Every structure is written in C-alpha cells, then in structure tokens.
Chains A and B, each alone.
Chain A
Amino acid sequence: DQQVKQNSPSLSVQEGRISILNCDYTNSMFDYFLWYKKYPAEGPTFLISISSIKDKNEDGRFTVFLNKSAKHLSLHIVPSQPGDSAVYFCAASGGDDKIIFGKGTRLHILP
C-alpha cells in the first residue's frame, strides 16, 4: 500500500509561471513532510520541509502547504526557472525510523 502518493508523473510549466507539485498521504501518523529535488546523475537533495503543526512553510521561491484534514501537501515554486527542471520527491515521516518517499514528479520548465 502506497502511503505517499504523487499522482502526476510529470508536469510542464512555462518559465516565470508558478509550478505546483502535489502529494497525498494516507497515514495520519505522519507528522513531518519533506520535499527533495533530484537532478540526473545526482543524489536527491533536501529542498524544504514542514511539520504537521504548521500549514505553510516558505523558503525563497519555494513554499510548501499542508492540509492535514485532506492529507494533502503541495510545493509551490514561484517564479519557475530553468534550473528547477528536475524530479521532485515528496516524503513523510511518522516519528519512527523511516522516511517514506513518493514515486516522484518530473518537472519540466519550458522556455
């Protein structure tokens, strides 16, 4: 059973516009959520995170929103830049030893 779901395998966005990447989770025990970014031939790198006690966390162009009642979080990138083209993984943790990753969404920023 997939506990962290990224239902869009890919997304294309015009440069300068907003990119919105979505993530749903099923485990109500998750209390910490993260987004990782991955370029080809590199390992994933941490991007931004949010605790379940918050509903928004912002870091420069990146904002993560958490809707606990809907078990949904989203990553907003504004404005989108060519360097944002990558695979984005949503991840969640319930305070145990594990971080559960989604399958990833490939973001293409179009010129």
Chain B
Amino acid sequence: EAQVTQNPRYLITVTGKKLTVTCSQNMNHEYMSWYRQDPGLGLRQIYYSMNVEVTDKGDVPEGYKVSRKEKRNFPLILESPSPNQTSLYFCASSLWAGANYGYTFGSGTRLTVV
C-alpha cells in the first residue's frame, strides 16, 4: 500500500531533550515536506526536500532540523524542544515539487513538550 509513515504517533517529552520524528514513504517520491498544524493557524511548512541531500527552509524552520540521506526517509529533528513546539506534525511527499502532483500525507505526530 502506497503510504507515508510517521513515528511515533504520540510523544510527550521535556524541554531540551532532543527528539527525532521519523518519516518514510514507499512511493519513490522525490519531494518530501514537514508541516505543523496549530489551532487557528492551519498548516505551516517547516522544511522541505526536493531530492536526496537537498533540503530547504519553509515558513517556520526555527528550532528544527531535517536530513535527507536517502530518498524514502525524511526525519524531523528537534535538538532542544521547547513548549512552543507543542503541535501536530505532518510529513508529506509528492512525486515532484509543485502542487500539480498533490501531496500524500502521513497520519500525523502529536507532540507535547512540557
């Protein structure tokens, strides 16, 4: 089944403790992206990747890192999480960059930083 898989689905952590949210897609998509969803703010892009070893900042990249060492994986790294990073996170992938190809989203990771 074609899908984007995120792990974990739920995570509660403490301020400053490094964490990684994994994202994997099995569709051989070139483009991958991370979004966060917050009440009243909709979906905001954090980082995206056009291809292996190519990443770029989205609209809200502060406090996050990403890597794209292989096509299928695009982990999101929070080196020192803070409470304002409590949010619902979505990974998405697309065949190519651009809206015409549509995005396939993962099921989301609900992160709470205390």
Q: Which residues of A contact B99 (CB under 8 A)?
A: 32-34, 49, 91-93, 99
State which of A44, A51, A98, A103 has its C-beta within 8 Å of the C-beta of B90. Answer: A44
In the bound assembly, the distance between CA atoms of A89 and B102 in angstroms comes to 13
| Chain B contact residue count (CB 8 A cutoff) | 26
Per the bound structure, the CA–CA distance linking A102 and B98 in Å amounts to: 17
B102 touches A46 (CB 8 A): yes
A34, A42, A97, A104: the one contacting B102 at CB < 8 Å is A34
Contact check, A32 vs B100: say whether CB atoms are below 8 A apart.
Answer: yes
Q: Is A83 interfacial (CB-CB < 8 Å)?
A: no
Interface membership of A43, Cβ < 8 A: yes
Query: Residue B4 at the A interface, CB < 8 A?
Result: yes
Could you tell me if A41 and B107 are in contact, using CB atoms closer than 8 angstroms?
Answer: yes
For A99, what are the chain B residues with a Cβ–Cβ distance below 8 Å?
45, 99, 103
- Contact, CB under 8 Å: A43 / B41: no
The reply on A60 being an interface residue by CB < 8 A is: no
- Nearest Cβ in chain B — how far from A87, in angstroms? 9
A78 and B44 CA atoms in complex are apart in Å by: 30
* Alpha-carbon gap, A100 to B48, bound state (A): 13
Supposing A42-B108, A101-B42, A102-B42 touch, asked if A95 and B102 sit within 8 A by C-beta, the answer is no
Q: How far apart are B70's CB and chain A's nearest CB, in angstroms?
A: 20
Contact of B108 with A41 in the complex, beta carbons under 8 Å? yes
A43, A93, A101: the one contacting B4 at CB < 8 Å is A43
B45 to chain A, nearest CB (A): 6
CA distance A42 to B92 in the complex (A): 12
Q: Which residue of A lies closest to B38 (CB)?
A: A103
Complex contacts, A33 vs chain B, CB 8 Å: 99
Query: Is A43 touching B102 in the complex (CB atoms < 8 A)?
Result: no
A54 vs chain B, min Cβ distance (A): 13
Min CB distance B27 to A, Å, is: 13
Alpha-carbon distance A101/B42, docked complex (angstroms): 7
B106 at the interface (CB under 8 A from A): yes
Chain B residues, Cβ within 8 Å of A49? 99-100, 102
Give 4 closest A-B pairs by Cβ, nearest first: A93-B99, A43-B105, A103-B42, A101-B43
